[in-house]
């Protein structure tokens, strides 16, 4: 037997690129970008649910509105950009921010924060509460996820885990799933096999990607089984494979 030099690049189907933007973003304002993820319908639902819950629990009406909920979220975003050691400092005479103090008083802000609801608890059945640890904020998460999935899919993507808050380099999020245990991931994957936890994450988060996408991930997600599984789905995984995973696979 003789070795012969030959190209190692396999024949792959051409990746079909999407247009850069699904929507025409010409002349968009910052609010237009935010409303890809948090729109007016969601704000109205938050206002309605917060009013109903406050009245049923305390008997005192909250009397909030869609516009006030917008202002509340805007204040929270501004606070994250201009962080103070204590929230009360945003209303202090020496450190106050007019963009916040002109919209509501300190006590009103804290009351809104205590009363904020995205659904009516009594409307959620018990079986759904047991299977979804995030049921109290699920409508909010679903709306953000809808905005992520509306973004164009590039050929090269990365999949990784992150904590909240995220301190790494920022990119456009295309999909996400909040971890609730391996069993929750198993329910979302058609053929889990022996992929392991990292492989289940790769399979789940690749469901909205196009064939011939190049996926990059770290060693937690990478294994021979995962690469073979994703190649059957016409996707290509690049990552470091740990030595103990190679021995178990061959």
Residue 195: pLDDT band with limits 50, 70, 90: confident
19-36 mean pLDDT: 80
Identify the pLDDT of residue 144: 95
Residue 196: pLDDT band with limits 50, 70, 90: confident
Contact criterion met (CB below 8 Å) for 225 and 201: no
230 SS3 class: helix
Give the separation between CA 81 and CA 183, rounded to whole angstroms: 37
Give the separation between CA 134 and CA 121, rounded to whole angstroms: 12
Contact criterion met (CB below 8 Å) for 147 and 7: no
Has residue 243 got a pLDDT over 80? Answer: no
Half-sphere exposure of 16 (CA within 13 A, CB side): 4
Tokens of 113: 């924060």
Residue 26: pLDDT band with limits 50, 70, 90: confident
pLDDT in tens, 76-128: 999 999 999 999 999 999 999 999 999 999 999 999 999 999 999 999 999 99
């Amino acid at each position: 037997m003789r070795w012969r030099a030959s190209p190692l690049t396999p024949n792959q189907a051409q990746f079909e690129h999407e247009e850069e933007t699904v929507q025409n973003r010409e002349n968009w304002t910052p609010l237009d970008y935010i409303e890809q993820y948090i729109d007016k319908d969601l704000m109205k639902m938050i206002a309605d649910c917060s009013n109903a819950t406050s009245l049923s629990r305390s008997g005192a009406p909250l009397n909030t509105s869609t516009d006030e909920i917008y202002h509340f979220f805007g204040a929270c975003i501004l606070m994250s950009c201009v962080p103070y050691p204590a929230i009360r400092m945003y209303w202090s005479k020496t450190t106050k921010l007019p963009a916040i103090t002109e919209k509501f008083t300190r006590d009103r802000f804290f009351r809104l924060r205590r009363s904020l609801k995205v659904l009516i608890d009594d409307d959620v059945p018990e079986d759904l509460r047991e299977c979804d640890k995030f049921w109290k904020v699920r409508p909010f998460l679903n709306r953000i996820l809808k905005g992520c999935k509306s973004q164009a899919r590039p050929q090269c993507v990365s999949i990784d885990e992150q904590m909240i808050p995220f301190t790494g380099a920022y990119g456009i999020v295309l999909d996400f799933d909040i971890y609730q245990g391996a069993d929750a991931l198993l329910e979302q994957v058609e053929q889990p096999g022996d992929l392991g936890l990292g492989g289940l994450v790769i399979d789940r988060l690749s469901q909205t990607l196009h064939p011939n996408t190049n996926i990059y991930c770290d060693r937690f997600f990478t294994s021979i089984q995962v690469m073979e599984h994703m190649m059957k789905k016409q996707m290509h995984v690049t990552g470091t494979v740990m030595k103990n995973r190679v021995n178990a696979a061959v």
